[in-house]
Structure 1
Amino acid sequence: MYPSGFSTMYGEKPKNVGETRPERYYSTKIQFGGFGHLDVFEEVERKEDLVTIGGNEIHTLYSPQGKLVVLNRGKNNTGLAVCSLCGFATDYTKPFSHKNKFGKDCPNGFATNAALGHMFLSDVLKLRFPNKVIDATSYEDGKDKWSTLLYAILEGASDVLGISRSDINGCVDWSDGYPVLILFDEASGGAGHVKRIHQNLESVLKGAFKRVDGHCGCGKETTCYGCLRSYGNQMEHDVLARGLAKSYLEWLLSSQHSDVSQKLKEVPEEKKLTKEWEETLDLLTSDFYDLAWDMVKEGTINAPDEVGYPLVSEETGVMGYEAEMIWHDKKVAVLTQEATPECRNAFKESGWNIFVVNEMDKDHLLKELKARSGGKKW
């Protein structure tokens, strides 16, 4: 039921505020309702891909004009009792004798059980993961792997990309009979956040794994406010199990960098892997991974200051262009091969020296980066 508005009782006087907070309960739930009409410009923005990570395929779809339906189902998800005659609504269905907003007895004694809702449009990212069956565990019964994975990805995106957690949200869509994770911008109309998640999906998934790796201290069979719990998902606290997301992400990412031990052997003793490079290697996508290891073995190049750096203009703010790796003091930016001419020009006009992966010989690229270091460790 989509209410057109709300009204208090006619002539009802305001009550004293008092010294205690009114009772609150979190009863809203967001569902995905498909996509609205896209104009010619929005059609260009729409991107559908098959992303391979760790040898596993993830079907992704980013698009503006996603329909999100916000539903209020009342306490304990039992729905609200609504009068179809006068619009009176309450949590309680018995007894249903009530007055209309003019203070007169309403002749309708039958309640309609309904959820109140409204719809808004925003940018949406759909993620369909391979349905890997994780080995059965003693705590799996009654837990929801997909909801747990959803919140791990949202928290990972917040950590890796510097997005405020309150600016993004998500839900699990079962409309096709298969679980699809829906990520969306909380701002009506979209704010570009889930677009960045789409562009940096591999790094976000690694950030998600870090969120559930156990450093928070809670058990695998549950979650805590140090990993996945928040006020916004309190209705699902009982079905979240950190261990389910950890096991799934561990499997998903396991073959991505399986040769780490071998690569470590190739690093000379005097050029040990620094903590900064360790953190960088955890975040990089596969296109940049081998290049980064070659930088480590070179020994004269410090780890980049940032991974996934969005170009910011003093006049316009975030410009929508992103570099995979940047070094602030040297004004060096390494871009993906897919970087558009507009992106490359934007970095150049902002004073950055840009290098594009796979468009330069790797040895030449390393030589250029080393030259900018002056032959010394940055």
Structure 2
Amino acid sequence: MRIPWIPIENERIARRHAHSIALAAYFRDRYENDGVSWRFAGEFFSPGSDGQDSPASQVRTFLTPVPERVDAAIRQVVPESIASAIGIDDGSWVERLCDLLAIAEHEMRNDLDTYRELIEQAKEANNLGLGARLQRTLKTIESRQLLGYLANKNILPKYGFPVDTVELRTTHCEGDVGASLELSRDLSQAIYDYAPGNQVVAGGKLWTSRGLQKLPKRELVELKYRTCVACQQFQCGTELDVEEVCPSCQQPFGKIRRFVVPEFGFVADRKVEDVKPEPPERRWGGSSYVENLGDISDPFPWQSTGGVEVQARAGTRARMVVVSDGGGAGFQLCGRCGWAAPLDRKSSKSAHKHPVTDKSCEGSTRIVSLAHRYETDIAEFSFGAIAYDNDAVGRWLSVLYALLEGASEALEISRDDIDGTLSWTPDGRRSLVLFDTVPAGAGAAKRIAENLGKVIQFAVDRVTRCDCGEETSCYGCLRSFRNERHHDKLSRQGALSIFAELKVEATPEVVDGPWGETLAYTSQSVIELLLKLSKRGVQKPELGVDLGQHYWPVEAVWMKPGVVLVEGYDEERDSGLASDGYTVVKVEDTDIDQLAPLLPAG
């Protein structure tokens, strides 16, 4: 795996940086000339009291024409190779920026209008409690940090300010350790790791999440959602039509549930425990869903050797939803203090204690899930005439995770930077959606779509060479921490059955591995080098062992000449092995003609 990288010639990243330069100049100009500034999204996207256009709408006026200092600053940052592609030369980038601002303003004002209408309805129904809660939610939406909101809408880059990060607060807990801890996660991961009832180890202590952080006069955004019983199509909104059927399969939706977005973070239990011999308690329940495919590109068709056409489409600004439901039933959440707990048979609706003050709280609880909504890049794949039915979910999930692992290996993309889910095409066919987990997307999904043939071949090789039973799977082929909830459905056999319909077979080197070995946990570059050595008649080494005083993991070792083969760059490992008397050979730097003579013949 290559070192972490950011492709500076990525058009979407370059465009967002151009936007940041333009908006910084706009903010500075308005402050210096008009004495105005904006901290919150609500005020930036709302018209003035005198009927004047919103500050966001006035960006177009500022950039018509583009001030020379802004144009010069952008050209200094954006690579020349893509300046024309994003419209720097002809000024068309301004139109794109203004379009994105208009969309963001529409969404903001629509949210504000919706909640104002709901507040009026609550007043007319004399439901003052609901009205007060909706009023606090309205305040939350209006008070969102402007830079964070613009980044969430893919207008500004996120790399400088991780706006979706939330904290598990421990400063109020017993002892001195909590005050010095900073436990934070991206919100899409925090809704699982910090879900109420889950435990984490930090600072030598065991911390239990006990609820959601509450802020004065602010309320968490809450929406209704549901999924199709048959195909898992996802819908969410402030209101949902109970009579509507799934548009993909015409089957009824499941029951309507509610989720909240815990954007203020989580609160740990005041009681701190010592670390125990058994693993921390954790519940993983929920899934990722495609709410909207966003702006879809023209398809990248790929014809398999079996004649099945695979359509790959790349999408930008796709809306994803990650839902954590605590194992299925959801969480009890107190609307007053934020106390929360997973709902199960042992759950009690009796009085609970405030998670911060530890005082008894008589607030009422409601059942909710936790969610995070965000926009990113996606790649959608649909497989021609290959049939789908509800009994085939396991097969398609297996193919999905095979493709993710294949993409990671083939294109050297960190597996943590991509993930996937099942979805549906507009014409009702089952599809696989792979998406960037990098904030706002970095183009990884598009690269996967453009290199589909290579990705599929690596996926087939991976599931073929693994030595676990075909009826199951393991962490060497399909499983990962992220897909733990699907482990019982994933199998090499399921993935291989669909690859067989595509008539894609593993490369001969994978079927007949080096020295007849099946190397399940070895990268393709190492396998290829070992295959070349085996064909040269080199003696079979010890594979995948730990060596030296500090038990350094190596790919292979020939003990008699003392030659070790390693992958990646690790100065401490390499110097340690050298001091133990080994000759260290890096896979990335080696030449087969120079290496083979150093090794014993078989």
Q: 8 Å contact 2:379–2:433 — kept in the other structure?
A: yes
Q: Distance in 2 between matches of 1:220 and 1:256?
A: 15
Structure 1 residues 175 and 99, CA gap change in structure 2 (3 angstroms): farther
1:27 corresponds, among 285, 289, 303, to: 285
Q: Is contact 2:329–2:343 with CA below 8 Å preserved after alignment? A: no
Does the 8 Å contact 2:405/2:478 carry over to 1? yes
1:229-258 deviation digits (Å, cap 9, x = unpaired): 11111111100111121121122035999x
Q: Distance in 1 between matches of 2:333 and 2:385?
A: 40
Residue 105 in 1 paired to residue 361 in 2?
yes
Structure 2 runs not aligned, ≥5 long: 1-258, 508-526, 532-590, 592-602
Q: Pick from 94, 118, 133: which aligns with 2:372?
A: 118
* Shift in CA distance, 146/131, structure 1 to aligned 2, threshold 3 Å: farther
Cα distance in 2 between the residues matched to 1:125 and 1:114: 30
Matches within 5 A, 1:3-82: 3-6=262-265, 8=267, 13=270, 15=272, 18=275, 22-36=280-294, 46-54=297-305, 55-74=307-326, 76-82=327-333
1:96 to 329, 340, 349: 349
User: Which entry has the higher C-alpha Rg, 1 or 2?
Assistant: 2
8 Å CA contact 2:335–2:363 kept in 1: the answer is: no
Aligned pair in 2 of structure 1 residues 13, 107: CA closer, same or farther (>3 Å)? closer
Alpha-carbon separation, structure 2, partners of 1:64 and 1:185:
10
Task: Give me the whole-angstrom Cα distance separating, in 1, the residues matched to 2:265 and 2:414.
Answer: 31
Partner of 2:410: 160
- Percent identity among equivalent residues? 32
In structure 2, the residue matched to 1:198 is 449
Q: CA RMSD in A?
A: 3.5
Cα separation, 1, equivalents of 2:414 and 2:500: 25
Q: Please list, as runs of the form range in 1=range in 2, the aligned pairs for 1:1-378 lying within 5 A after superposition.
A: 1=259, 2-6=261-265, 8=267, 13=270, 15=272, 18=275, 22-36=280-294, 46-54=297-305, 55-74=307-326, 76-92=327-343, 94-97=347-350, 98-100=352-354, 102=357, 103-108=359-364, 111-133=365-387, 144-174=394-424, 178-213=429-464, 215-254=465-504
Unaligned runs of 5+ in 1: 135-139, 258-274, 280-328, 330-378
Shift of the alpha carbon at 1:19?
5.6
Q: 1:84 to 1:174 in 2, by over 3 A?
A: farther
Contact 1:154 1:165 survives alignment (8 Å): yes
CA contact (8 A) 1:80 1:92 kept: yes
Closer, same or farther: CA 133–180 of 1 in aligned 2, 3 Å: closer
The Cα of 1:17 is off from its aligned counterpart by: 5.2
Deviations, residues 109-162 of structure 1 (Å, cap 9, x unaligned) = xx422210011211100111135259xxxxx97861110000010111112111
1:255 and 1:230, CA in 2 relative to 1: closer, same or farther beyond 3 A?
closer
* CA 1:7–1:151: 2 relative to 1, 3 Å: closer
Distance in 1 between the 2:497 and 2:380 partners? 22
SS in 2 for 1:253: coil
Do the aligned partners of 2:382 and 2:425 also contact (CA within 8 Å) in 1? no
**Aligned residue pairs: how many?**
247
C-alpha separation between the residues in 1 aligned to 2:445 and 2:463? 21
